[in-house]
């Protein structure tokens, strides 16, 4: 183990077989081992490592390898940079999935021939799923902005390409107060399923952050955690209602949200277990739906855009404004409706 890199890249393991062959593999938690075939220390090794972390198959070069100046070549170089490794694991996983599909259709394309029209066409092919179209643009913008700075291309073809309009009706349905009441009735305080709900509802964390949140993040009644998606530090006072639920438990030793064995859960396994708990309560099975009602509650109580961004880890004002506008319309409507009964 003397030649193992220090510090060791996360989840990277080394094994020497009985034949004296060194084998490298990636294993997340107790999941399956993913073998890395390339030679340690090479760019190909890092590419396979990143793909394994993202849960994707390693990108295979086209016959004869990636031609210098092709899109495949450019993406391979991008993965070797701090601009890529500095992204959160969740963002890299999302963008690897985008690159996988891009490389299948345009991997051999010369980067000199990728124009604004090419990027717009890629966006428009995803027009039926606006979130995927935005993710595609974010991935390509990150790639080509780096490429311009690295002087590998002269022009960024993503410049001036607009995001598709957001559709407020898409995505996971927001929970209602009736959903909360139904879930609480089925899963009272003292059940792990109630811990799951209250951690989500009274912190506003995404599921990937909620499953990491534990006592180690709390000091003097205030929790602090960096979000997986945006790497933003959020500060979350532990409200009395959540404190009561956590004290009743059951919680894990390392995380508040835990499985039957008391051990932490991955966000995927938690999502599956939460859906089962929701089905038993007769409510929509979505952690993100709970996050939406948390934002709605805060906005209806008068939270500002800045306050919502501080709670939920958003940036840019767009997401927070959706909730504050809805809350303002509700308040204005409640205040103005009595005017309809006034005599002229």
pLDDT band at 167 (very low <50, low <70, confident <90, very high): low
For residue 250, whether the previous peptide bond is cis, meaning omega lies within 30 degrees of 0, is: yes
pLDDT band at 27 (very low <50, low <70, confident <90, very high): confident
Q: How far is CA 210 from the centre of its chain?
A: 12
Alpha helices in 69-115 (DSSP H): 71-78, 82-85, 89-106
* Mean pLDDT of all residues in 317-334: 69
pLDDT at 23 over 60: yes
* Mean pLDDT of all residues in 249-257: 93
Instruction: State the pLDDT at residue 148.
Output: 92
Domains delineated in the chain: 12-149 (no CATH), 177-334 (1.10.443.10)
* Mean pLDDT of all residues in 218-243: 89
Lowest mean pLDDT among 63-77, 83-97, 197-211, 223-237: 63-77
How far apart CA 119 and CA 141 sit, in angstroms, is: 10
Q: Find residue 34's DSSP bridge partners.
A: 26
Q: Are 298 and 310 a contacting pair, CB within 8 Å?
A: no
Question: What pTM was computed for the model?
Answer: 0.56
* Mean pLDDT of all residues in 131-142: 91
């Amino acid at each position: 183990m003397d030649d193992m890199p220090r510090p060791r890249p996360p989840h990277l393991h080394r094994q020497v077989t009985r034949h004296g062959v060194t084998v490298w593999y990636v294993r997340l938690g107790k999941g399956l081992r993913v073998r890395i075939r390339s030679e340690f220390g090479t760019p190909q090794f890092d590419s396979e490592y990143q793909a394994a972390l993202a849960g994707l198959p390693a990108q295979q070069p086209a016959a004869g390898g990636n031609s210098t100046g092709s899109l495949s070549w450019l993406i391979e170089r991008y993965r070797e940079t701090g601009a890529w490794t500095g992204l959160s694991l969740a963002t890299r996983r999302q963008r690897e999935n985008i690159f996988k599909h891009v490389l299948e259709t345009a991997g051999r394309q010369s980067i000199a021939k990728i124009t604004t029209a090419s990027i717009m066409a890629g966006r428009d092919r995803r027009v039926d799923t606006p979130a995927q179209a935005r993710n595609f643009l974010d991935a390509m913008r990150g790639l080509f902005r780096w490429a311009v700075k690295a002087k590998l291309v002269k022009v960024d073809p993503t410049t001036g390409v607009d995001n598709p309009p957001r559709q407020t009706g898409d995505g996971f349905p927001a929970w209602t107060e009736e959903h909360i009441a139904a879930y609480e009735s089925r899963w009272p305080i003292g059940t792990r399923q109630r811990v799951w709900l209250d951690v989500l509802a009274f912190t506003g964390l995404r599921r990937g952050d909620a499953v990491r949140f534990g006592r180690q993040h709390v000091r003097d009644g205030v929790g602090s955690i960096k979000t997986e998606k945006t790497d933003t530090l959020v500060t979350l006072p532990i409200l009395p209602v959540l404190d009561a639920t956590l004290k009743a438990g059951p919680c894990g030793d390392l995380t508040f949200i835990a499985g039957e064995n008391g051990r932490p859960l991955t966000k995927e396994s938690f999502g599956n277990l939460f859906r089962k708990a929701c089905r038993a309560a007769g409510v929509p099975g979505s952690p993100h739906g709970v996050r939406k009602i948390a934002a709605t509650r805060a906005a209806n109580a008068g939270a500002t855009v800045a306050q919502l961004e501080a709670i939920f880890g958003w940036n840019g004002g767009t997401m927070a404004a959706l909730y504050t506008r809805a809350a303002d319309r509700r308040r204005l409507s409640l205040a103005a409706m009595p005017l309809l009964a006034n005599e002229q």
